[in-house]
Amino acid sequence: MRKKVYTQAYFLIQNNQNYSHSFGVRMKYVGLNTLIGVYAVARYYFNALRLKSANGETTFD
């Protein structure tokens, strides 16, 4: 009986560690994708401002 409880506890701990590891990996990729997306949007926005100023427009909406 004790061995069975220890075995169940061992697998529960292992599964929890595996899940937390995979969750961390997923969060890392979500963070990287978010960073790339923010960079692309900011670059597009500032390029648009630069083009407007190059064309002589002074109002930035």
pLDDT tens-place values along the chain, 61 residues long? 677 777 777 777 777 777 777 777 888 888 999 999 999 999 999 998 888 888 877 765 5
pLDDT of residue 48: 87
Which spans in 1-61 are helix H? Answer: 2-54
Exposed e or buried b per residue across 23-43, where buried means at least 16 C-beta atoms within 10 angstroms of its C-beta = eeeeeeeeeeeeeeeeeeeee
The DSSP letter of residue 61 is: -
Tell me which residue has tokens 């930035």. 60
pLDDT of residue 33: 92
pLDDT of residue 1: 64
pLDDT of residue 42: 94
pLDDT of residue 60: 59
Give the amino acid at 17: Q
